[in-house]
Structure 1
């Protein structure tokens, strides 16, 4: 089994830089702000006011910068969310369908997901920046499967797999690629491979399933082991995501669009 890395030991600078470049995007359903859009915009499903998103993001930012624990994150954010009425179950109208639904707003479980996903994706994309900077001397990545409560057999099968940094399979499966996934990669040079008796291998054969996002109507072929929401390549914040976010902002109500624009300045 491949050696494991403690997320807390990863250098935070790139992760913080990735997180702080994000704008805001309103979404009623997690599928409204989809895939690569998450690299450009911070969103929390059913948090329908920009100032509410600002408060939640500020706590995530503090967690990244200060190493705040999950317990502290929940303890500090919960009173504000309760005061603002964004807690427990409530009736809300879905703006896409005009249906009134009984939905879950804030809860310890939801805050755990918000904390975990945002920290892990920020660290992963921040690490990708460093990987690209160092790939001339450290040209290989080893997939490091870490068991979790949401175990995927595909991820376990990839443990210890070594491929070149720029292999297309790496871009398709670079963690995080699933809800609750704790997998990551370890960057290596030839000397490290030789010391550990590792060899550069072949990319695993891909299997695909068809998935349609019922909120957007988009149909895609999704690789096995990848949750549809995470089917996007790393490093996308450098590839015209500003234009993507601008297009999303233009579709917002005027007050929300103005708040997002001010935040980006």
Structure 2
């Protein structure tokens, strides 16, 4: 069966989230696949023994095109192989190190390119699927493990088939597919009514997890055995499930996730739309920036504000410490802006006073807040001030109220952008402000 048909049937999702995941990755040169842990693999595109950046770029561009256009593995190989052959990254070669040791290595081949194709497409689709399922946990809080259940299915993967756990069960940090080379498993999101109608049992995976060290291979330079953090799942019926070594991780969570303190707060946010936006913001994807720009344009042109919120990014660790030191309260580090705050920043008064910002600046807030010119602390008002575009006479000033608590219905603190307007740079050098980062 064609890979395109098989993947689309298995994933049942549009590829745009998978493409966004792939494009959010950086590049990482590596000799052996186990040089990077699962989290690093989730954030960086790498192919073992692709030791030149141009080779990596060629391979990732080809994977990107395959995802966007729904190419088969044959099409992928036919288009990519000539480029790699022309650059000498093909077949078996003998590599030597600075100690005079030689070894035979396998570079490009049709079989290897098919493996790269399947692994990257499967991982990207599942990372995108994870993000989408996170956004529906208020209506579909139960996730079911689904294996294909044919003669190619690993027995241990088949042992998980049909088992149901809550979306926030720790088991998904180890078993959200793919769980190995060529894994075709997926996760199905269920409502409470579906669980009851199908008479399914919701299990507690925390009781099943054993964290171990798994042997990933041998370091060719030192001869030492390489071990990675791994997990074995002990099921109540005596069966065990263990992903391939190096695969006992949730790629989507690793790519979009944060440290435990932020993740815990994120899990408490009741608005699934906001939670989804925050998760997307963590990988700083172009897709998320485009979505925010469209949201801002809709609010500012329609001039009607509801209670909606949109994520604009994450407070850095250093700024979070600065807020805690000055207020005695830990900020949540989740930066959001409400529809009302956005319209207030672009109010008729601000427009008349000539201090409102251009539309394109409001639309670019997530990108600008990620790389501010400077960050100040307003001693009088006890909040952060981001200077996002400093000029000779004026600066764009964005005020973040941190720590800040939204209405009680949210039940979780979120740091809110409460205003954004132009101000003279000289005014920001007054004693009221303390420079935390950057320069004015």
TM-score by length of 2: 0.50
SS at match of 1:134: coil
Change (3 A) 1:217 1:109: closer
State whether structure 2 residue 32 is matched by structure 1 residue 29: yes
State whether structure 2 residue 174 is matched by structure 1 residue 172: yes
> Would the aligned equivalents of 2:38 and 2:246 in 1 still touch at CA under 8 Å?
yes
Q: Any gaps of 5 or more consecutive residues in structure 2?
A: 1-6, 220-224, 233-240, 259-281, 284-370, 372-440
> Would the aligned equivalents of 2:91 and 2:107 in 1 still touch at CA under 8 Å?
yes
Q: Any gaps of 5 or more consecutive residues in structure 1?
A: 243-264
CA offset digits 1:3-28 (Å, max 9, x no partner):
x9813632212111111000000011
> Would the aligned equivalents of 1:162 and 1:200 in 2 still touch at CA under 8 Å?
yes
Please report how far the alpha carbon of residue 236 of structure 1 lies from its aligned counterpart in structure 2 after TM superposition.
1.5
The count of residues paired between Structure 1 and Structure 2 equals 239
Aligned to 2:249: 232
> Would the aligned equivalents of 1:139 and 1:165 in 2 still touch at CA under 8 Å?
yes
TM-score by length of 1: 0.81
Please report how far the alpha carbon of residue 94 of structure 1 lies from its aligned counterpart in structure 2 after TM superposition.
5.6
* Higher Cα radius of gyration: 2
> Would the aligned equivalents of 1:148 and 1:182 in 2 still touch at CA under 8 Å?
no
Whole-angstrom CA distance in 2 between matches of 1:193 and 1:65: 34
Whole-angstrom CA distance in 2 between matches of 1:154 and 1:194: 26
Please report how far the alpha carbon of residue 202 of structure 1 lies from its aligned counterpart in structure 2 after TM superposition.
4.0
Whole-angstrom CA distance in 1 between matches of 2:135 and 2:101: 48
CA offset digits 1:237-262 (Å, max 9, x no partner):
234598xxxxxxxxxxxxxxxxxxxx
Change (3 A) 1:220 1:156: same
Whole-angstrom CA distance in 1 between matches of 2:161 and 2:39: 25
SS at match of 1:143: strand
Please report how far the alpha carbon of residue 62 of structure 1 lies from its aligned counterpart in structure 2 after TM superposition.
0.7
Change (3 A) 1:185 1:221: closer
Change (3 A) 1:25 1:5: closer
**Higher-strand-fraction structure:** 2
Change (3 A) 1:11 1:94: farther
CA offset digits 1:203-223 (Å, max 9, x no partner):
373456532454495553432
Whole-angstrom CA distance in 2 between matches of 1:143 and 1:94: 45
Whole-angstrom CA distance in 2 between matches of 1:217 and 1:124: 27
State whether structure 2 residue 85 is matched by structure 1 residue 82: yes
Aligned to 1:210: 213
Q: Which moved more, 1:34-43 or 1:231-240?
A: 231-240
Whole-angstrom CA distance in 1 between matches of 2:138 and 2:253: 17
SS at match of 1:186: strand
Q: Which moved more, 1:138-147 or 1:224-233?
A: 224-233
- Larger relative CO (CA 8 A, sep 6+): 1 or 2? 1
Whole-angstrom CA distance in 2 between matches of 1:207 and 1:109: 34
SS at match of 2:203: coil
SS at match of 2:51: coil
Change (3 A) 1:218 1:147: same
CA offset digits 1:225-245 (Å, max 9, x no partner):
211211223411234598xxx
Whole-angstrom CA distance in 1 between matches of 2:103 and 2:140: 51
State whether structure 2 residue 64 is matched by structure 1 residue 55: no
Aligned to 1:245: none
Whole-angstrom CA distance in 1 between matches of 2:68 and 2:143: 26
* Cα RMSD, aligned residues only: 2.7
Whole-angstrom CA distance in 1 between matches of 2:185 and 2:257: 25
